[in-house]
Amino acid sequence: MQLYCNQVFVTDEVKDIVPEFLMLLHGVIDSPDIPLNVSRSYLQGDPNVKKINAHITKKVADKLEEIFKADRAAFEEKWESLGLFVKYGMMTDDKFLDKANKFIVMEDTTGKFHTLEEYKTLTEATQKNKDGKQVILYTTNPVQQDAYIQAATKKGYTVVKMETLVDSAFINNMEMKWENVTFVRVDADIVDNLIDKQESNESVLSKDDTEKLKELFNLQIADLHVTTEVKGLSADSAPVVATRPEFMRRMKDMAGVGGGMTAFYAQMPDEVTLTVNGNHPIYQTLLKEGNADLQKSQVRNLADLALLSQGLLKGNDLTNFINRSVDLLQNK
């Protein structure tokens, strides 16, 4: 961007004139209200500069809305490039946010795009929690989180992709700026609890078997803080589901990117909840296993499979899982 005064070049240092999120714009600003000799301190204090800044923001927002309305398909094709800057602008400029709310789109895991209002309408009946908030389910890695996405879509939920560099901060910002909206990552809990907590999960196991199973899954794993619970999920659900509580995972993600006040979270072990599906038929056999060592190996392998789906099985633990799997197959 270059600044001109009545067609006379002034400067190409436009940091204080152009909004930060639009610094990659190309073009010319010609204003009769800017003197030919300017200093940075002058630009920072000049009211005309603030007007130009606001005008650029408005023009860009209006143009994006125009493109969105005129040719939505073309807009969606360019969203991968546009989205990063639109989201950054929405976080840093409330006037831009007001306009961008009309044309921001979210791509779901099937490749379809939704505006905020379209997503709300689509999920009105299925994704409102008990507090009346619209729950936007999202994935940060569709490949790694595929099992969780499939479970959510089977429930009729719509999962959107949040994969860019700014999405972690964007989610936190929009929860404060969008009324009655909350974001939940698709692997933050078992699928039955993603929208609202369901406490009445009945298991076919007896109380004694439930306690025994919980004790067997009480594992100590390096660099992980593991919480175990036994619930009665559907029989065709996985025998163990590993989930990462939304709040602590967000704090660790933010600490990894930005540091600051959240830096101490980066030093904390990853929190993971192992939900053991007491209704899975595998446990009818496992609990009757007379060989305690074999029983422990089977339990640890089931837990490791769940952790593997979260990308939390690494190094020595991953090697042990592979070796243990081979041994179990040989024993059979």
Residue 81 within a domain: no
Among 194, 218, 241, the domain boundary falls at: 194
From CA 265, how far away is CA 251, in angstroms rounded?
Answer: 6
Does 98 share its domain with 110? no
Residue 28 within a domain: yes
Spatial contact of 88 and 50, defined as CB atoms under 8 Å apart: no
Among 168, 194, 220, the domain boundary falls at: 194
Does 214 share its domain with 290? yes
Question: Which range of residues forms the domain containing residue 225?
Answer: 200-332
Angle (nearest 5°) at CA 109 between 107 and 115:
25
What is the per-residue pLDDT across 246-268, written as a single tens digit (0 to 9) for each?
A: 887 887 777 666 555 555 566 67
What is the per-residue pLDDT across 267-315, written as a single tens digit (0 to 9) for each?
A: 677 889 999 999 999 998 999 988 898 999 999 999 999 999 888 888 8
Question: In the structure, what pLDDT confidence band is assigned to residue 74 with cuts at 50, 70 and 90?
Answer: very high
From CA 173, how far away is CA 88, in angstroms rounded?
Answer: 10
Question: What's 170's domain CATH number?
Answer: 3.40.50.11260
Record the pTM. Answer: 0.83
Question: What's 279's domain CATH number?
Answer: 1.20.120.790
